[in-house]
Structure 1
Amino acid sequence: MTDKPLILWFRRDLRLGDQPMLAAAVASGRPVVPVFIQDPETEALGAAPKWRLGLAVAAFSKALEGLGLRLTLRRGAALEVLRALIAETGAGGVWWSRLYDPASVARDTGVKAALKEAGLEARSFAGHLLHEPWDVQTGQGGFYRVFTPYWKATRGMVVAAPEPAPGRVRGMEVWPDSDRLEGWRLGAAMNRGAEVVARYQAVGEDAARAKLGAFLDGPVARYAEMRDLPGVAGTSRLSENLTYGEIGIREVWHAGLRARDEGRAGAESFLRELAWREFSYHLMHHTPQITTGNWKPEWDNFPWRGESDAVERWRRGMTGEPFVDAGLREMYVTGTMHNRVRMIVGSYLTKHLLTHWKVGLAWFADCLTDWDPAANAMGWQWVAGSGPDAAPYFRVFNPAGQAEKFDADARYRRRFIAELTKQPGREALAFFDAVPRSWGIRPDQAYPRPVVDLAAGRAAALAAYGARNA
């Protein structure tokens, strides 16, 4: 037993409740030193997620202050920063919650090995997922490659109840020096867009929990049929909070179970979507190449296109296909995009424009405040055809047909495309305030003609896909 302080290295677990690492630290009785490190992996984040991470860190710092703790902010390579803090505080070890993307795994493996070699405690905890990826196995002992069997296998698995937030935590008598969050300028790359997107962020644990409660009190009842309609408030909108760990996944899961047991019809579908998030991490752990290369290697020789004028029009929400453009403009205004629309936007880029899914993946990684390494990679490969999708290659989403089906009254398209109405609303006009001035886009311009004829684009995609499968 030891009374040496513990350094708690927070990353994407910025909450007090449903926090296994923090609960274990409190149980140990040892003083704790909470730290957040802006390391090269954090520096590599895109503009929007890095900015949103800064908001999450600020909110979490205030929450820790309520417990009498102080969040130490340091910048540099993680191992170097941790070694310095150990020397300054006399800490006997470092604890953290696990992450699963390849860059984080490589970093954390190196940190753990170096600390243990120095005779220090280095311990990682679960907390980001319902089930560790290696704990879910097929009957043959392998991993799942298709979602439906994965869902059947995990649907009834026991998920531990979340721990409540601690009432008291032992801190330090003298805290180490800390950087100022403002000095990191995490939102610098957002430029003027930050002011627009900030209106739509629900930052911190309390806001996330309130959002969950509002969803379960209302929209969850019709979630199964409403989740695909971008013009209505039919989803939980918890993706940003789960991304930064502002609410625990176990807390969300158990709340969903209670809603299902109380007879709210859509709760089962909601639980299934939480499992879809888990499945993306399951795949990323077992096939980490999904983040950088085709999940199906037979796609490596497919003649994807790279950058083009058409891609640039896609980025700017100026393709001339209203459902596609509305999705991209929603992203610039709110920081997120409705899930159904993400599929349409992705299909249009990879199939109608035959552009490499990596182009879209990189753009989403720069622009989404709820960017998630596993979900983003699996989503793009799923829609492109190179990923874990059991559907045949010739499935091509028609944006116009999808709009008729899921946005029949054009409410969503009018909400974000000013050129489609004589009196555009605030959100449609906010798009022009959010995007770079260098794009030269103005609300008084005419809506553009389509980049590609939908029928011709589908035919070209089928020809290219068919040639690959011949």
Structure 2
Amino acid sequence: MTAPVLLWLRRDLRIGDNPALTAALATGRPLIPVFILDPETEALAAAPKWRLGQAIGVFAQTLERLGSRLILRRGDAVQVLTDLAHDTGAEEVHLTRLHDAASRRRDDRVAATEGPRVVVHHGHTLHAPDAIRTKTGGYYRVYTPFWNTLRQMGVDAPAPTPDRLNPPDRWPASDRLETWGMGAAMNRGADVVARFAVVGEAAAQRRLGALLDGLDGYVRARDDMTSRATSGMSENLTYGEIGPRTLWHTAMDALQNGAPGAETFLRELAWRDFAHHLLWHVPTLPDQHWREGWDRFPWRADNPDAEAWRRAQTGEPIVDAALREVFATGTMHNRARMIVASFLTKHLLTDWRVGARWFEETLIDWDPASNALNWQWVAGCGPDASPYFRIFNPAAQAEKFDAKRRYRDRWLTDTPELRAFFEAVPRSWKLDPKARPEPIIDLKGGRERALLAYARQRQP
């Protein structure tokens, strides 16, 4: 009997443009797709763990329609793969490389263990994070030259989409997904967020089609908080429900056909690669300042103002609207992310890691690389960072990017969205839907305090 191959899935829950799947099928052997709930995955925060569970469930259905199955096992990855190899006779495991420190340590342990041969593939980003180098062989610290190099290198074509998977004669035992409790930490919020999530490969393809229809106005509309014109593709990229190379080549085709927004979208895909490039070379990016000397900056640790920020009770309308959006939907408008991050780190002088942890807790498109880079960029301590004196005035930002107040009204007045937020929040917060919180800080005074702190930081 021909020994099967194991396809260990993590953040590549798709059939199309999946290099690991393509390579596993190319062996001609029966294929056993596997997802492991290992300690690294167990450690995910509430929203991303819940959303991962949704992705697993939909992908399992996709496999069943192709005559295959998704085998679910819980435990240490080394032990689970060893057991599966023993049970099935598999001599080879194919997987897609991940780039965060915990995943790298785990994958190194798996590769070093005696047992089935481990074959690692690239596919979570446009390029492997160590493939793009400066002329001196180092890594890029500034985005624009990174973008120029990536653009010159080009991007490989998407891997083909198979129409059939080769099943084994005998399937190993599998856990049931519902016993894993992937949404346990979401408490009351899961049912609310589920109304807004776009789950699975087919849904991601439909979302891509909608993006293409709107690319002509994408450059202007992506910052217009009233239009909901951001792509939304980060949610599906996070779980590998669509491949980054698919997005790249789709946008390149649109660019060649004259779509003015395609170039901007391509740059955003490259920014995601830049984040993973930095995380690969600087594994401490999510929890340590990238720039030297920032450990002496007078960040406030977690504090009552930060708690008011988390609960959308700052009294600053655009900030509270954005933080209600993320709690109810699991996502937040791109412009809003910058506004709330600037408000927390600059007006409230709160450590960027406090905000990064809240995004990790609440975002269904949470990505360890992008989250770390974007928070450090706003705070001023990261690579290619925003200038220290760039302190968003949230009121001015609201008037510029929410001029008709539709975004604020959506989350601050009696609307289905606002009711969804109050349905989702824990009762222990004891929020009054009719109350209007008073501002926790004067915008001018907060700006002046931040400028003084940042100016002192720059002194030798």
- TM-score using structure 1 length: 0.96
CA contact (8 A) 2:221 2:227 kept: yes
- Mapped pair 1:233 → 2:222: no
CA distance in 1 between partners of 2:206 and 2:153 (Å) = 27
Give runs of aligned pairs for residues 25-424 of structure 1, distance below 5 A. 25-114=24-113, 117-118=114-115, 120-217=116-213, 219-418=214-413, 424=414
CA contact (8 A) 2:36 2:74 kept: yes
- 1:178, CA displacement in angstroms? 0.6
CA distance in 2 between partners of 1:156 and 1:3 (Å) = 43
CA contact (8 A) 1:143 1:286 kept: yes
- 1:391, CA displacement in angstroms? 3.9
CA contact (8 A) 1:220 1:234 kept: no
CA distance in 2 between partners of 1:389 and 1:157 (Å) = 22
Q: Secondary structure at the match of 1:314?
A: helix
The one-letter amino acid paired with 2:412 is I
Q: Secondary structure at the match of 1:290?
A: coil
CA contact (8 A) 2:55 2:239 kept: yes
Pair 359,391 (structure 1): closer, same or farther in 2 beyond 3 Å: closer
The one-letter amino acid paired with 1:428 is L
Q: Secondary structure at the match of 1:307?
A: coil
Q: Note the alpha carbon deviations across 1:142-173, whole angstroms, 9 max, x for none.
A: 11101111111112322111123211221111
CA distance in 2 between partners of 1:177 and 1:352 (Å) = 54
- 1:54, CA displacement in angstroms? 0.3
Q: Secondary structure at the match of 1:133?
A: coil
The one-letter amino acid paired with 1:455 is K
The one-letter amino acid paired with 1:451 is I
For structure 2, the 5+ residue unaligned runs are: none
- Specify the alignment match of 2:447 in structure 1: 458
Q: Note the alpha carbon deviations across 1:155-214, whole angstroms, 9 max, x for none.
A: 232211112321122111111111110000100111111111111111100000000011
The one-letter amino acid paired with 1:401 is A
The structure 1 residue matched to 2:415, chosen from 409, 416, 425, is 425
CA contact (8 A) 1:41 1:104 kept: yes
CA distance in 1 between partners of 2:159 and 2:126 (Å) = 14
The one-letter amino acid paired with 1:433 is E
Q: Secondary structure at the match of 2:185?
A: helix
- Mapped pair 1:437 → 2:433: no
Following TM superposition, the consecutive aligned residue runs of length 4 or more in structure 1 with deviations greater than 2 angstroms are 389-392
CA distance in 1 between partners of 2:270 and 2:155 (Å) = 12
CA contact (8 A) 1:14 1:60 kept: yes
- 1:390, CA displacement in angstroms? 4.5
CA distance in 2 between partners of 1:431 and 1:376 (Å) = 23
- 1:43, CA displacement in angstroms? 0.7
CA distance in 2 between partners of 1:366 and 1:373 (Å) = 12
Q: Secondary structure at the match of 1:160?
A: coil
CA distance in 1 between partners of 2:27 and 2:350 (Å) = 53
Q: Note the alpha carbon deviations across 1:247-288, whole angstroms, 9 max, x for none.
A: 011101111001111111111111111111110001101111
Q: Note the alpha carbon deviations across 1:217-241, whole angstroms, 9 max, x for none.
A: 1x21111111111210212111110
- 1:442, CA displacement in angstroms? 2.4
Q: Note the alpha carbon deviations across 1:6-33, whole angstroms, 9 max, x for none.
A: 1110000000000111111111110111
CA distance in 1 between partners of 2:135 and 2:183 (Å) = 47
CA distance in 2 between partners of 1:414 and 1:388 (Å) = 35
* Root-mean-square deviation over aligned CA pairs: 1.1
- 1:384, CA displacement in angstroms? 0.6
- 1:141, CA displacement in angstroms? 1.5
- Specify the alignment match of 1:23 in structure 2: 22
CA distance in 1 between partners of 2:20 and 2:271 (Å) = 25
The one-letter amino acid paired with 2:458 is N
- Specify the alignment match of 1:421 in structure 2: none
Q: Secondary structure at the match of 2:254?
A: helix
CA contact (8 A) 2:378 2:385 kept: no
- TM-score using structure 2 length: 0.98
Q: Note the alpha carbon deviations across 1:63-107, whole angstroms, 9 max, x for none.
A: 111121111101011101111111111111211001000100110
CA contact (8 A) 1:127 1:248 kept: yes
CA distance in 1 between partners of 2:231 and 2:385 (Å) = 27
Q: Note the alpha carbon deviations across 1:412-455, whole angstroms, 9 max, x for none.
A: 0111112xxxxx2111221100111110112122x111110000
CA distance in 2 between partners of 1:285 and 1:248 (Å) = 20
CA distance in 1 between partners of 2:294 and 2:67 (Å) = 54
CA distance in 2 between partners of 1:79 and 1:37 (Å) = 10
CA contact (8 A) 2:377 2:386 kept: no
CA contact (8 A) 1:220 1:235 kept: no
CA distance in 1 between partners of 2:2 and 2:258 (Å) = 49
Task: State the identity %.
Answer: 56
